[in-house]
Every structure is written in structure tokens, then in C-alpha cells.
Chain A
Amino acid sequence: MAEISLRQVRKSYGPTEIIKGVDIDIADGEFCVFVGPSGCGKSTLLRMIAGLEDITSGELRIGGRVVNELPPKERGVAMVFQSYAIFPHMTVRENVAFGLTIAGASKEEKAAKVAEAARILQMEHLLDRRPSQLSGGQRQRVAIGRAIVREPSVFLFDEPLSNLDAALRMDMRLEIGKLHQQLGATMIYVTHDQVEAMTLADKIVVLRAGEVMQVGSPMELYHNPANVFVAGFIGSPSMNFLDVEVRGVQGDRVVVSNAALEPVEVRPKVGSYAPGTRARLGVRPQYLTPVVGDGAGTPPNAGRLHGRVALTERLGAETIVESTLADRSRVIAALARDAVYPVGAEVTLAFRPEEAHLFPA
């Protein structure tokens, strides 16, 4: 069993606090992704779990055991680095077997385990090559191979795909997903790419400036973001935010509007609101649809935004329309199918209230 728990984990360099009291629980066999912008502390947190960085305070448990003071090798973790960190003076075989060699494994055991790892990663033909003879994707496989031969209970991935080109990144993403299903080990994966986070994770931890913003499944985060930061970070293109005024509050319903937005009644999931105060209304670009003609096709309770087309990007399957609203803010709509919206044309965009998110200002 390799469940991981962090309790009020902190990290400071001198007076600067990098990790500010993080609580996370990761179940055995779970695929957990730490995501956040550069400098949010996600890599530092991973390195603390690996044992490469000291924990200033708090408690880190792996498999129920407090491991704060244990060196990396006694934590039962394997790590894949962004730079791959393959030893350039060793062949692929020696690289993959490195952990076993250090542990004093027998020749037969090494050969069997390396063969098994090579089979899983489809790199049998690479075993006798030197790292300098490998492509980026192949090096990544070697790095993963080195991690899996020791059969660790926890795998740590530090932005493993960010040095690969787009096509290869997608292939390797699928492979890492498959690997997780095959091995069933606990995996923690750090990335700044929210697509990787959404596709791979059982659980996503969104970090910002050393603090946990939200923990949840990808769909929880997508549909029920706890705050503006998570709402804006998860989803692509990112969510539109409108500065709105609260017109009225009735039970769990709140009516909001602004210069460009007709009054609309929404049910906020977070925060409390009072009439006359400001708030932020978030709508994903995919949930905005143009109102055609007299709006007969639009539900009566829909939110309506009025603006002018500022820019369109026609991608074939969808059309990205950026509009300027009356209050000079801009919204992006991702409209299904190809369509022509002349720049400067007036446009009304509608959204269903249940697909909007209200946050305190």
C-alpha cells in the first residue's frame, strides 16, 4: 500500500516561504497531478516527496510511514526528470538496470527485469545503445524504464513531457496513462499543461504560490471550480470573467448584470452575495452561443451579452470569436463549426445560467 498524505507541509528558503502549509491525500494506486503556473511550487513539492528537498515543517507519510527524515532510497519512490537524467556514459541497459545494480541484484534478476521493462516500453531494440544515439522520446522511455524496474510503490514525474514536440507528447501521454493502468502504482505527476492534467489524472491538485487552490477530479474542477483562479486555469481557451453587480438575492439565487449583460439569475456554488455588491461571473467560451434572429431558439432565462466582433479565428471545426463588450471588457466564444463573423458586427451571445459560475469579487 502506498497512499501518500501531506499534513501542513511547509518549505522555506530563509525567510521566503515557498510551500505554505499544504494538505493533500493521495490514495493507493491513484494518479495525482500537481498543476499550476511556473513558480507555484509544484516541482518543489514533488522533490520534497522524493526526498531531494528538506521539509521545513509538517508531516509527509508514504504508506502510513512518516518519511520526513528518510533519504530518497528508503522512501520507495522512483522519479522521472524533465531532463530525463539518463547517465550518458552507460548504455540503455545499464541505465535501466542502475537501481538494481546499486541494490546488488543478481545478473539473472537484472536481465529479467530489464527485459520486462523493455517489453512494456517497446524498447528492446535500444538496449545496447548509448543515450547520445537516442531521440528525445526514446530517452524518455529509458528514464521511465529505469523507474519501473525497481517496482517502486510510488512514481514521481516532474514535467516529463515538456521537452518533447507536440505529437510525441501526445503519444507519451497516452503511454503514461496505459502504464498507470498496467502497474497500478501510485503516481504523482507535475505539469503546467492543463491538458495533461485533465487527461491523465484521477485527482488534480491546483497550486498557486505555494498554496493548494483546489483538489478534485478533473471534471469536478472543470464543472465546479472553487475560485476564480481554478476556473481560469482549467479549460482551454480559459474562462471569460465579467465584472458584474449583484441586483438581487433570493435564497440560493442571485441576479446579476452589467452594462453589457442583461439581468440573469444564477445559482452560485461558492461565496455569499449581497445586493449592490460586485461579483465576477465566469462563462466558458464553449458555453457561449450566438443569438440568431429574434432569439426564438434561445431559452428565456438565458444570460445575454451584447458586444461587437473584434477578432475571429476560423479553425474549421470551430470558430473562436473575440468580442468587445459595452464595458470594454472582452469575451471569447468558441463556437461549434465554421462560421463567418465580420469584424465590427454586432453580436449577442447567450449562455445557460446553470453553466455560469459566480465568484465573490
Chain B
Amino acid sequence: MAAIDPSNRGLRLFARYAVLTLVAVIFAFPLVFMLVSSLKPDDQLLRDTASLRAFLPVGDLSLRNYYAAFDRAPVGTFILNSVFVTGVTVALSLFVCSLAGFAFVFLRWTGRDLVLSVILATLIVPFETIAIPLLLVVSKLPWIGAEGLTLGWLNTYRVQIVPFIADGLTIFLFVQYFKDLPGDLIEAARVEGASNWQIYRRIVMPLSGPILATAAILKFLVMYNQYLWPLMVVQEEGRRPVMVGLQYFFQLNRAWGEIMAYLSLITVPVLAFYLYLQRAFIASIASTGVKG
């Protein structure tokens, strides 16, 4: 092929950006609609949906919906609950599942492959099928706390956290990633006298930035969007997460503006988490890009 004509190249670049921009706009529309609508009174909001005004911050704009949302439901408590439950679960999950992955890839023990295949098989079981049995289990589980021995985990944070710490998908992600780490690094560390824990902490974890970020994002989404399980196990308002809180806005007097305000509020932690991890994600890729 002859040398590429520069004007042709410019045109192609323009076309590419045009397509990308269009896609970005399509994806942004719902978010823009949510944010803009959260500032409008209900009658204007419904009127505007008939036109492009739905995406424009015009007309009678105010923060009234936000005040109303806080009046209607303990929004702050819901968000804090969700952030706490999600944060703790993600942290514990990364730790426990990476340790499991380490054991499956770097340790030799009888039954290893069998156990791994059983764990992978759990991937095809939807949560809904085990929800009821799991509810029966957690309703009877003992706990030793400030009040001594108690039975039943209902209406607690731990009932929202513990069942989700270990899961097949996260373990599988770590197993796949660890398999691709150069085995020589692990053996070199072993010959240098490192214990399994030291190999995990000093060699494997520092090289696992990309997979930690990936697993964290996936787990975060699952946990932050929890609805069915907290609905089943938490009746106490003070322990409920954001998605269950959404119910408060679909009761007798439905207020679309308040719903949009609530949705805008609960989206903030998600965006913050994404932006934070995106940076960590890119940095970790940049630092591990070493070829033998």
C-alpha cells in the first residue's frame, strides 16, 4: 500500500472520534437525565421527558428533592451502611480469595484439583437458589459478642458480609492470574528462604495489582448492588443498605424527583471508587510491565 495520505488519515481520526463521542453520549444520557431531573419539581420533570429539555438543566431548579429525600428516608445511614458492608467485604474477599488462589497454584496438596473444580462448579449456581437455605443457616448461627453468646445473625452487618467474602469467581480470577506469574520468581524466593506467607506477601501480592483492581471492582459492584439478601435478612432500618432504601421512594406517594435525588446520591460512592481504582489500575500495570 502507498503512503497514507495525511488528509485521509485526519478524516479517519475524525470519524473515529465522532463514533466514540456518540457512544459516550449514549452512555452518559441516563446519568445526565438522573442528575438534571433530581433538580426539577415533579410536574416539570414529567413534562420535560417529552423533549430534549429532559437532559438540560433548565426551568425551576433547586435542591428541594434532596432535602425531601433525606426527610423521607435515613439516606445517610443507608449510604454509610452500604459503604461499610461493601468496603469490608471487598477487603476481606481480596485477602481470602487471593490466599485461596495462592494455595491452589503454588502449594502442592492432595485433592487440590478436585477442590478447585468443586469451587468452580459453584459459579453456575445462582444466588437465588441458595438464598433460602442460607437464610435458614444464618438465622441459627451463634455469635459471641458483647452480650455473650447469641443465636442468629439477622439484622447485623456480619450477615451481609460473611457469606460474600469467598466466592468462586474471585478465586478463579486469582488462580488464573497466579498461573501466569513466572514460576521461577516463586522458586527463587523459596530458595532464598522465604516462607509461603513471605512469598505471598513480598512477591505475589506486589505483582498482583491488576488482578486486585479487577477483583475489587467486580466485588464492589456485586456488594453495592445487593438487594435481595439484605431485604431478607435485615429488617432493622439502621442496618439497611442503599438498594433496599430505594423501596422508601416507591411507596404510596411516588416522587420521581426524590427518586432521582436519591439515585444521584448513591451513585457518588460508586464513581469515587471507580476513579480511585482506575488510577491504581493503570499505575500497577505500568510498574509490572517488565519482560524477561
Contacts and interface: CB of A to CB of B under 8 A. Distances in A.
Interface of A: 50-52, 71-73, 77-79, 81-85, 87-89, 98-99, 102-103, 130-132, 146, 150, 163
Given A79-B191, A98-B189, A150-B192, A85 B288 contact: no
A83 B191 contact: no
Dominant SS among interface residues on chain A: loop
B198 A52 contact: no
B290 A131 contact: yes
Given A98-B192, A102-B192, A132-B289, 7 more contacts: A72-B190, A72-B193, A79-B187, A81-B184, A83-B184, A85-B184, A88-B288
Contacts of B148: none
Contact of A89 (B184, B187, B192, B206): B206
Contacts of A82: 184
A71 B288 CA distance: 29
Interface string B28-47: 00000000000000000000
B134 interface: no
B231 interface: no
Interface in B113-156: none
B191 A50 contact: yes
B252 to A, nearest CB: 58
30 contacts: A51-B190, A52-B191, A71-B190, A72-B190, A73-B190, A73-B191, A73-B192, A73-B193, A79-B187, A79-B188, A81-B184, A81-B187, A83-B184, A83-B292, A85-B182, A85-B184, A85-B185, A87-B188, A87-B189, A88-B290, A89-B207, A98-B192, A98-B194, A99-B193, A102-B189, A102-B193, A102-B198, A132-B289, A150-B193, A163-B292
B287 A85 contact: no
Nearest to B207: A89
Interface string B203-246: 10011000000000000000000000000000000000000000
Nearest to B182: A83
A49 B158 CA distance: 49
Given A78-B191, A98-B192, A89 B288 contact: yes
Interface residues of B, number: 22
A79 B288 CA distance: 24
B75 to A, nearest CB: 42
A102 B193 CA distance: 7
A87 B203 contact: yes
B181 to A, nearest CB: 10
A258 B23 CA distance: 83
A156 to B, nearest CB: 8
A88 B182 CA distance: 11
Contact of B187 (A85, A87, A88, A150): A85
A84 B292 contact: yes
Dominant SS among interface residues on chain B: helix
A287 B198 CA distance: 57
> Which one of A73, A84, A88, A98 has the highest number of Cβ atoms from chain B below 10 Å of its Cβ?
A88
Contacts of A99: 192-193
B84 to A, nearest CB: 31
B194 A89 contact: no
Interface in B249-284: none
B188 A81 contact: yes
Contact of B193 (A85, A103, A131, A132): A103
> Which one of B187, B198, B288 has the highest number of Cβ atoms from chain A below 10 Å of its Cβ?
B187
Contacts of B192: 73, 78, 98-99, 102, 146, 150
Nearest to B289: A132
A85 B207 CA distance: 13
Nearest to B198: A102
A98 B191 CA distance: 11
Contacts of A146: 188, 192
Contacts of A51: 190-191
A150 B290 CA distance: 26
Contacts of B182: 83, 85
Nearest to A133: B290
A146 B187 CA distance: 14
B193 A87 contact: no
Contacts of B194: 73, 98, 102
B109 to A, nearest CB: 14
Contacts of A87: 185, 188-189, 203
A130 B287 CA distance: 10
A81 to B, nearest CB: 5
A83 B12 CA distance: 43
B191 A72 contact: yes
Contacts of A78: 191-192
Nearest to A79: B191
Nearest to A47: B187
Contacts of A72: 190-191, 193
